Structure 1
């Protein structure tokens, strides 16, 4: 169905959902109208329909929020649900040891999308949040996903722009390329002060049953000399999540690769 102006109703509904941000999860109809560029009468009508289907909800002060129905449907059908479910026990174990932030991120377009985060009172500053995003080049999770992602994704990231959050953020393409090679070589990303001077991120890859990197498990800890001690904790947990997802042992992956090269024959 399309409106008289040529834009589909669905496109207008998408614009309404995109008006909400983590910083501003509740908006008035007038604010939604202004952010979407839709006429206030059109916005009011669409919001009312979405509220009737429980995709949006209204507070007592008539401000509009995303409804629980959206969360229900997304959770029911999300392809990332199995990754999150497999990761949670390991994330809880890491959190008990580290006592700061533990998070799980996946690749979504040209950004890392965070599916889950565990934190604690008094933990070091952290800009990430559940359902939040960061550029791939700036975070430990993003660097892991970028390092193991498609070559064309890396080239697009290297082409920039590379936003610098702190003086330590890799914003030079040559520097970023070297960092990605190091992440692949050593098996983890180590990012002191990339997003905030006081915070350090460590992330390791999570692999699926085909051995493909599907997520990154990371911790955010204080940026000090003791941070190196969390590296084996993160790597061990990421391998545990990978095993829970059915990742074959290294020798099995090598055997499978050899079989493919030999046309699928098995010894």
Structure 2
């Protein structure tokens, strides 16, 4: 069934669920405003989603439900690689004492699926679940450099957002940079999103050698030492890649998963 604006029920369900990317808790009026779905229709869908356990309600507010989290936990491109990466991310955090990020490509964005930060780290982004254009983050540049040529061309043909005066927006420069990343197997994002931070990323591959994720470390500009960081990040990314090519026993997977609750107590700076 489609509404007058041509949108089907599934389209509207997705639009409503996506409003929770903005806030953890929202009331029906806020969901209606963010999704631009009429309030009466919004109420009906919210009631159905709550009944199915995809959302939960407390008073007037709704938030993501455990059933939605349970379904999402089976996504191999997010939770699967996150489970494998977490022990190595903890080691990288300990070695560098700097924020560590894990991201995958979703369309033309870098989607952050995990982050670890040192105690007392002050920057609140990116949160798990946040996304940035590929050209402005080190993880995004790695993912773009190893994307299919059609994806690269589509990305290079679109207008780009500038986050800081240092954000690179020249397609010719980016093309040269992507080639360099493929050759050297790491990327550097120098003050592209945060004018005070530099990040270094390396690719994570699957058993067939395809790049499925990217790992990064961020440091303040005043403490920049990108090439030594590149070696540390590449070593960790290579270890995750080797581990991902080997079947992991179920008990080990459960043990790694249990650590994620602690990892989400921290935040991170640039990307």
Could you state the TM-score of these two structures normalised by the residue count of structure 2? Answer: 0.84
- Counterpart position of 2:236: 237
- Counterpart position of 1:41: 40
Flag structure 1 segments of 5+ consecutive residues without an equivalent: 248-267
> Do the aligned residues in 2 keep the contact of 1:125 with 1:199 (CA within 8 Å)?
no
Shift of 1:223: 1.5
> Do the aligned residues in 2 keep the contact of 1:112 with 1:142 (CA within 8 Å)?
yes
Cα distance change, pair 38–225 in 1 and its aligned pair in 2 (3 A) = closer
Alignment of 1:86-165 (within 5 A): 86-123=84-121, 125=123, 127-165=125-163
- Counterpart position of 1:30: 29
Shift of 1:124: 6.1
- Counterpart position of 1:8: 8
- Counterpart position of 1:205: 203
- Counterpart position of 2:256: none
SS in structure 2 of the partner of residue 120 of structure 1: coil
Shift of 1:122: 3.2
Larger radius of gyration: 1
Give me the whole-angstrom Cα distance separating, in 2, the residues matched to 1:4 and 1:114. Answer: 34
Give me the whole-angstrom Cα distance separating, in 1, the residues matched to 2:124 and 2:45. Answer: 36
Cα distance change, pair 119–211 in 1 and its aligned pair in 2 (3 A) = same
- Counterpart position of 2:262: none
Shift of 1:152: 1.4
Aligned residues: 244
- Counterpart position of 1:218: 216
Give me the whole-angstrom Cα distance separating, in 2, the residues matched to 1:244 and 1:137. Answer: 28
Deviations 1:198-254 (Å, cap 9, x if unpaired)? 11110001111001111101111111354323221101000001110128xxxxxxx
Shift of 1:78: 3.8
1:20 and 2:8 aligned? no
Give me the whole-angstrom Cα distance separating, in 2, the residues matched to 1:33 and 1:26. Answer: 13
Cα distance change, pair 192–4 in 1 and its aligned pair in 2 (3 A) = closer
Flag structure 2 segments of 5+ consecutive residues without an equivalent: 247-271
> Do the aligned residues in 1 keep the contact of 2:204 with 2:237 (CA within 8 Å)?
yes
Deviations 1:91-117 (Å, cap 9, x if unpaired)? 010011122211111111001111111
Specify which structure has the bigger relative contact order, considering alpha-carbon pairs within 8 angstroms and separated by 6 or more residues: 2
> Do the aligned residues in 1 keep the contact of 2:54 with 2:68 (CA within 8 Å)?
yes
Could you state the TM-score of these two structures normalised by the residue count of structure 1? Answer: 0.85
> Do the aligned residues in 2 keep the contact of 1:124 with 1:221 (CA within 8 Å)?
no
SS in structure 2 of the partner of residue 114 of structure 1: strand
Give me the whole-angstrom Cα distance separating, in 1, the residues matched to 2:158 and 2:45. Answer: 37
1:167 and 2:154 aligned? no
Shift of 1:10: 2.2
Give me the whole-angstrom Cα distance separating, in 2, the residues matched to 1:4 and 1:153. Answer: 32
Give me the whole-angstrom Cα distance separating, in 2, the residues matched to 1:3 and 1:187. Answer: 47
> Do the aligned residues in 1 keep the contact of 2:88 with 2:239 (CA within 8 Å)?
yes
Shift of 1:4: 5.8
